[in-house]
Amino acid sequence: DAWQTMAGVDVMGRLSQIAWGPQMRLLGALGSDGVRVCKKVRMHDKVRDGNSVVQVAADRVMVEAVDGSRPPTALQLNMQITGVDATDKHLLVWNSQTAEVHEAGPRGYVPISTFDSASEAMAIHRETVFRAGASMVEVCTLAGVVKDTLVYDDAHGQVEHMDVSKDYLAVSTSNGFIKLWRLGGRTPKSHGPTGGKKVDVRDIPTGSSIESIKVNCNGTKVSVLFVLPGSATTHTVIVVYDVDADCFRSFDFAQTGRVPEAHAWDHDVPMMFGVQTVTGGQLEASADVAGAPAASVKVSRSASGDMGDGGAPTTMSSGDGTEDRNSGIDTKNARKEANTPGLVVFTMFASPERIVLQESHPIPAGFEALLGLSVPSLYVCKKAAVAEGGGVCFSVTMRDFLGMEKVDPATKSALLEFKLHLATGNVEEAFRAVKSIKNPEVWENMAHMCIKSKRLDVAEMCLGNMGHVRGARAVRDASREPELDARVATVAVHLGLNDEAESLYAGCSRYDLLNNLYQAMGRWDEAVVVATSHDRIHLKTTHYNHGKHLESVGDLQAAIVAYEKSGNCATEVPRLLFQRGMVADLEQYVAHANDATLTKWWARYCESVGDFDKALQGYQAASDFLSLVRVYCNQGDYQGAAEIVEESNDPAAAFHLARTFEAQEETGEAVRFFAAAGRFGHAARLARSAGMDAELMNLALQSPPEMMLDSAQYFQERGQPEKAVTLYHKAGNLRRAMELCFHAQLFEPLAALTESIGADSNTDPELLSKCAKYFLEHNQYPKAVDLFIKGKQFDHGLQMALDHDVLINEEMAEAMTPAKGEVEDAVRKELLLKVAKVCKQQGSYHLSCKKYTQAGDKVKAMKALLKSGDTEKIIFFAGVSRNRDIYVMSANYLQTLDWHADAEIMKSIINFYSKARAVESLAGFYESCAQIEIDEYRDYDKALGALRESLKHLLKSRTEDRAEAVDGLNARIGMVERFVQARKLIKDDPHEMVRICTEILNDPQIGANDLESSIRVGDVFALLIEYWYAQGNYQQAYTLIEQMKDRGIVVAPYLDAEMVETVYREMGVDTAPRAGAGGGRDSGVDSDGEEMMEENIAIDDDDELPM
């Protein structure tokens, strides 16, 4: 649909090839008679000085007066027109070769002069023609005779565009300069900056060229459109030059989702201009073909259109290129025409501060272009009207002036001031501009503007001046709505702006209010759609209201369908049909509806009129067994009623039948059916009154508490205490049940009662103590302890638990734990500590830890947990406690485990020591790690890393013996480093390795103990022996083995037995001494007998943990 047919060009002959030129405005066509170059130009249309000029073809224009004072005139010219201009008396047309001037006469326009002109830019003012020349503007007579020149700087380039409005001329040059002259006197006078002004706005890309310029009626502002570099596409930014402020302001139509195509200033209002826009896909379409319309706009020779409002940010640039950004109204509203097909005209205000987007006017189908504007009208053209023999210029009334096309100039000026100040947010100035207006229609129009701009505070004032009481009340009532759009829409409804209200409700997602609006407008189909899609909570209500509406207009069938959808057919349909005497139709509807409620209603109706057969059928179909039993009982058919109750098991039916039998003093049957109905209280009452003791106990247990107590008292009086105790207990009267047990010596029931005492917080403590003593006398210690605890005698209960070895379980411990705030904190803590200590003495370490924690003593809690040996919980508790002592205790405990085989435990030890800042302990742990790597795995590289970590942490120590410890550790590290170096040199420099190892073994400055604390001497000997063995030097190997033995080092853990035997055999020794196990560290085990050095943790009974 975006493709549009443009005017065709006859190239004379058969066409074989076409191609676009580099500027996208030139088209080359190769035909049978040669090549032709066609230039794409825009049709020239404008309104000026009360006349409209519309180019309807390449060589034809239509001229007419916008007020209808002169009939439309079609001028057929002998040239291809590239430009037109007009005044109230003259018409100027031209191309790049010729210009013609026509004068208006009684019978239309007649040519008065034709002259040669190569200028592409011309204009006419009164009796003067202006045309572009070389670095000047030529001032000519109507005959084309040059009478003066307007010179400007050569560096500005050639004049490309010019425009005249009233007494002001504006021109633009190829280098982007604009210059103005005032034409009112005998000779044109320079207006604005003497040397012109360079259009320099950062929103315009470098290399863009000016597409067109327009000057306003008093010469204070010039608007400019640009073409993007290297294309024919219009830029989205329009620039306005403010002559008085000597600055540029810009507005980017990209925020509206559209692209400007043409622009025009109001004929009399200097601050208002209009911009014709298209969607991005339509930009390259011809200006000869109009886009699609908005159907709501009505256009005629003096018609009006319904426009919207919008706004977006603008940019202001001062003369030196600096810019200032301001905002108009919200961008969301500005984009509402983004997807509107065809043309949309935006009216805008060029205020002293910024450019404000004021209104949007979608142009209907068939109307192709904006010609101009003069408040309150926009002028558009419809070139297709030429074929109908009429004019092509039509007017569209601006939205803010609907119904006020004939207002006086003062009112019009006040309204324009009001619009400008309201759009810029200056409410006080807006009030001041219109305070003298008395016309209610004008105030109503301004109220409409306030709805558009969402200014309810101003709207309230307008409504007050209108005398619109309901509207003013709506403004105050709407304040309850949280969304601004919903509040505005509520007021819009009272002003008759239903379309705006509909759009606002949908925009803020208030579909409930939109649903109500559609219902009030009688648009029921749309209301149902909205309720179905977005407002389902009111869907049934909508269907119900629709049904009431249909009923009121007599459409009964449709009303029934709506009532069914609303879920009210069981009440509304019978009412609807019965009120109209349509009983037969009602019976037929009930039969086909298959609705239980409706069928029940019909059965009751039949019963009320005495038709019991139909009533029974209806009750049976509706499964209303109570009504069936009631009818049978009324007819005396008790057997049939009993059969229905037994088959249906319906409680209500059984209860009705039971009451009937009770009234007839048939007690047995009444008791049976009361029980069947679940009304055991009634059944027990009858059974007690009839002396039916066997049935009474079973019924009483299922009765309400009051009936249980009555029945218990009955059994107590009849000498049956066991049954009485059971009923008292079931009814919740434990005290009386226990007293009866004590009185009747019922030990087994008393034991059962004590099990349920804990659930009753209102049990008398004295009674509990009495029960506890009773169990104590009978050596039932666990039950006695439990009762003492439930009776709040915690000290007695704890002592008894210790004396009689009764284990305190978690339930008992929790029962002895008061809630926070229930007792004083000190009392609560003391009690929790007692419970925790007893639990620890009984071996319940986890429970003890919990109670210590609740008491706030985390250290004792950890001590109890350490006794449990639960490593996982110990690690978790230490991690969440954030206590230094607890970290150290946990790490000390974890060192007693096989931490070297479990990386997580090792990680936890390091983590806890680090958090506790126990650097000495952490250094010692790393030393232990190093020793294990040496003793167990002979991995001196890892041992060296661990020793260095130990040194790093030991350096942080602040103890008195720190220096001595650091020196000793450095010595160990140095010794290990020497041995590690020797091991690495075995391949690359074995002689150096032998030297280092020999030096280690013979170093007289290192004592044997120090040496052994760093490395194992046997490993040094083993390294040398293995080297000489590999070299075949058995003598050296033999000598070293003998030295090992002389030092008391067992050979077997270090040397392979086969290698030792080979050495002895080669040296001529018959039998090598067997390497047996021996003492000393170098036997391969720890000097303490394979026991890892660890720090034992002893916890005494007084909860003291040495650290």
Concatenating the DSSP letter of every residue in 104-164 gives: EETTEEEEEEEEE---S-EEEETTEEEEEETTEEEEE-TT--EEEEEE--GGG--EEEEEE
For residue 427, give both structure tokens. 């409410």
Helix, coil or strand: residue 695: helix
pLDDT score of 274: 93
Name 513's Cβ contacts closer than 8 Å, sequence gap at least 6.
481, 486, 489, 490, 505
- Gap between the Cα atoms of 835 and 818, Å rounded: 12
Over range 829-841, report the average pLDDT: 82
Helix, coil or strand: residue 415: helix
| Burial of 621 (C-beta count, 10 Å sphere; 0-12/13-18/19+) | middle
- Gap between the Cα atoms of 1003 and 997, Å rounded: 10
pLDDT score of 181: 93
* Length reported for the chain: 1107
pLDDT score of 528: 93
449-501 pLDDT tens trace: 777 767 666 676 677 766 677 777 777 777 778 888 888 887 888 777 788 88
The DSSP-derived string for 552-574 is HTT-HHHHHHHHHHHT-HHHHHH
Cα 1049 to Cα 150, 1054, 1056, distances in angstroms: 119, 9, 15
- Gap between the Cα atoms of 1060 and 1075, Å rounded: 10
pLDDT score of 501: 84
686-735 pLDDT tens trace: 767 766 666 766 677 677 777 777 777 677 767 777 777 777 777 766 66
The pLDDT of residue 1095 is above 50 = no
- Gap between the Cα atoms of 730 and 712, Å rounded: 10
For residue 476, give both structure tokens. 């105050």
The pLDDT of residue 893 is above 60 = yes
For residue 39, the 8-state DSSP code is E
Sign, CA torsion 1029/1035/1038/1044 = negative
Calculate the average pLDDT of the chain: 78
CA angle 461, 466, 472 (to 5 degrees): 55
pLDDT score of 1096: 36
Nearest residue to 4 via CA among 281, 289, 384, 341:
289
- Gap between the Cα atoms of 728 and 1103, Å rounded: 49
- Gap between the Cα atoms of 92 and 85, Å rounded: 5
Nearest residue to 91 via CA among 148, 49, 133, 57:
49
- H/E stretch holding 19: strand 15-20
511-536 pLDDT tens trace: 988 998 899 999 999 999 999 999 99
Over range 437-449, report the average pLDDT: 70
- Crossing angle of helices 651-663 and 625-634, in 10° steps, is 20
| Measured distance between the N- and C-terminal CA atoms of the chain, rounded to whole angstroms | 90
Query: Does 854 or 148 have the greater pLDDT score?
Result: 148
State the residue for tokens 């327009």: 214
- Gap between the Cα atoms of 564 and 584, Å rounded: 19
Over range 188-202, report the average pLDDT: 88
The pLDDT of residue 117 is above 50 = yes
State the residue for tokens 């304040």: 479
Strands 177-182 and 168-173 turn out to be antiparallel
- Gap between the Cα atoms of 365 and 368, Å rounded: 8
Nearest residue to 492 via CA among 479, 507, 502:
502
Contact present, 361 and 346 (Cβ < 8 Å) = yes
- Gap between the Cα atoms of 818 and 41, Å rounded: 95
pTM of the model: 0.49
- HSE-up of residue 191 (Cα within 13 Å, Cβ side): 24
User: What is the residue type of 736?
Assistant: R
Asked which of 367-376, 551-560, 626-635, 1086-1095 is least confident by mean pLDDT, the reply is 1086-1095
pLDDT score of 441: 66
pLDDT score of 45: 84
How many Cβ atoms from other residues are within 10 Å of residue 1077's Cβ?
Answer: 10
Nearest residue to 92 via CA among 82, 79, 102:
102
Cα 689 to Cα 656, 696, 702, 710, distances in angstroms: 20, 10, 17, 12
- Gap between the Cα atoms of 803 and 806, Å rounded: 8
Q: Confidence band (pLDDT; 50, 70, 90) for 331?
A: low
For residue 980, give both structure tokens. 């590690």
Over range 542-558, report the average pLDDT: 91
pLDDT score of 319: 39
User: What is the residue type of 481?
Assistant: E
The DSSP-derived string for 153-207 is -GGG--EEEEEEETTEEEEEETTSEEEEEE-SSSS-EEESSTT-EE---TTSPTT
pLDDT score of 544: 93
State the residue for tokens 């049934």: 540
Q: Confidence band (pLDDT; 50, 70, 90) for 149?
A: very high
- Gap between the Cα atoms of 189 and 174, Å rounded: 22
Over range 331-348, report the average pLDDT: 79
Nearest residue to 245 via CA among 198, 204, 192:
192
Question: 1005-1014, long-range: CB within 8 Å, 24+ apart, which pairs?
Answer: 1006/975, 1010/971, 1010/972, 1010/975, 1011/975, 1012/1081, 1012/1082, 1013/972, 1014/971, 1014/972, 1014/975, 1014/976
For residue 327, the 8-state DSSP code is -
Nearest residue to 352 via CA among 256, 426, 415:
426
- Considering 131-140, 663-672, 964-973, the range whose residues carry the highest mean pLDDT is 131-140
- Gap between the Cα atoms of 526 and 510, Å rounded: 15
